């Protein structure tokens, strides 16, 4: 009788302990899965594009378009991911990074489809930014111009994107040789803006005279007061007495 009671007691203890542990294990897995699902909308992988940029863009922003053309299938796979994505589910910073990468990736793809060419102006009669219809993030007829003006500037009010998107020309701000991410968005926007403004290849600045990139003339309203914006990032400051001129834009391919 005593042996039977002991056996029953052990069986009950084992069952209770197994049930408790199983419940705890289930709970941990449940919340782990739930957390993963909740975080998923804020994640979009730019890994394919990141690898291509590191492989075919050097530190100064020059692009190996022949290399990109050889890896055209991989770039196309990335564009397909952009097409199927829903950027509205991303955080604000991730959305901005998404559209910058989309702009740059599609620009490269448009060039390599016609490569070798000497300038992006050779595509669509020099109007590729407004005439080429793209399929990105559920928008089936968006253009590069709309990405820039309607989304990145119009929606997010971020003028520094002018130094993040690349128009495939030598006078355009250099293409970063890695993909943009939400985590490093502000740091990289600041770095790329400073690098462009302080690079004498694009801007020659002194207190008496400033020969600026045409970008500051074309998109003047985006920057507000151009002098104030320049002084925020430039090592050399300008004033109301500084004579400002704008440099000719070199549309030759940034290869």
Are residues 30 and 107 located together in one domain of the fold?
Answer: no
CB 162 within 8 A of CB 147: no
pTM (two decimals)? 0.83
Q: What percent of the chain has pLDDT over 70?
A: 84
Domain containing 16 equals 2-35
Give 95-114 pLDDT, tens digit per residue: 999 999 999 999 999 999 99
Do 14 and 68 belong together in one domain? no
Give me the mean pLDDT over the 49-76 stretch. 98
Residue 98 and residue 11 share a domain: no
Domain match, 16 and 97 both: no
**Percentage of residues in the chain having pLDDT higher than 90:** 82
Q: Is residue 130 in some structural domain?
A: yes
With bands split at pLDDT 50, 70 and 90, how would you rate the model's confidence at 42?
low
More confident residue, 28 or 2: 2
- Count structural domains, the chain: 2
Query: Rounded to whole angstroms, what are the CA distances from 180 to 11, 17, 127, 203, 242?
Result: 58, 50, 26, 24, 35
Q: Which two tokens stand for residue 212?
A: 């600026």
| Residue 244, pLDDT above cutoff 90 | yes
Q: Is the pLDDT of residue 38 over 80?
A: no
Are residues 7 and 60 part of one domain?
no
pLDDT number for residue 73: 98
Q: Do residues 70 and 188 lie in contact, with contact meaning Cβ atoms separated by under 8 Å?
A: no
If asked whether residues 94 and 29 sit together in one domain, one would say no
Average pLDDT over residues 194-206: 97
In a domain, 134, yes or no: yes
Q: Does residue 255 lie within any of the structural domains?
A: no
What average pLDDT score do residues 143-158 get? 96
Span 126-133, average pLDDT: 95
Both 96 and 116 in one domain: the answer is yes
Is the model's pLDDT at 6 over the cut of 90? no
On whether both 186 and 116 belong to a single domain, the answer is yes
- 100 with 177, same domain: the answer is yes
What number is the average pLDDT over the span 132-144?
A: 94
Mean pLDDT of 159-167: 97
pLDDT value at residue 43 = 73
pLDDT at 12: 42
Q: How many CB atoms lie within 10 A of CB 226?
A: 18
Q: Transcribe 87-140 into DSSP letters.
A: GGGS-HHHHHHHHHHHHHHHHHHHHHHH-S-SBGGGSGGGTHHHH--EEETTEE
Asked whether the predicted pLDDT for residue 24 surpasses 70, the reply is no
Calpha distance 118→126 (Å, rounded) = 12
Tell me: do 24 and 146 sit in the same domain.
no
Report pLDDT for 26.
32
Residue showing tokens 């985590």: 183
**How confident is the prediction for the chain on average, in pLDDT?**
87
**Overall average pLDDT of the 228-241 stretch:** 96
């Amino acid at each position: 009788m005593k042996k039977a009671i002991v056996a029953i007691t052990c069986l009950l203890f084992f069952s209770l302990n197994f049930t408790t542990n199983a419940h705890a294990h289930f709970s941990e897995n449940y919340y782990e899965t739930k957390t993963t699902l909740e975080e998923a909308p804020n994640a979009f992988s730019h890994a394919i594009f990141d690898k291509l940029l590191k492989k075919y863009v050097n530190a100064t922003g020059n692009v190996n378009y022949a290399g990109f053309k050889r890896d055209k299938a991989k770039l196309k796979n990335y564009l397909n991911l952009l097409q199927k994505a829903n950027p509205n589910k991303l955080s604000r910073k991730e959305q901005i990074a998404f559209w910058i990468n989309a702009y740059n990736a599609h620009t490269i793809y448009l060039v390599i489809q016609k490569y070798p060419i000497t300038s992006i102006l050779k595509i669509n009669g020099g109007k590729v930014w407004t005439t080429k219809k793209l399929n990105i993030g559920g928008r089936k007829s968006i253009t590069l111009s709309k990405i820039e003006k309607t989304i990145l500037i119009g929606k997010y009010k971020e003028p520094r994107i002018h130094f993040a998107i690349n128009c495939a020309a030598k006078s355009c701000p250099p293409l970063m040789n890695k993909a943009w991410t939400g985590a490093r968005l502000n740091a990289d926007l600041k770095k790329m803006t400073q690098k462009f403004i302080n690079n004498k290849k694009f801007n020659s600045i002194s207190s008496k005279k400033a020969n600026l990139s045409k970008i500051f003339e074309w998109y003047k309203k985006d920057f507000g007061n151009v002098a104030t914006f320049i002084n925020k990032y430039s090592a050399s400051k300008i004033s109301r007495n500084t004579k400002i001129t704008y440099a000719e834009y070199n549309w030759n391919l940034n290869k």
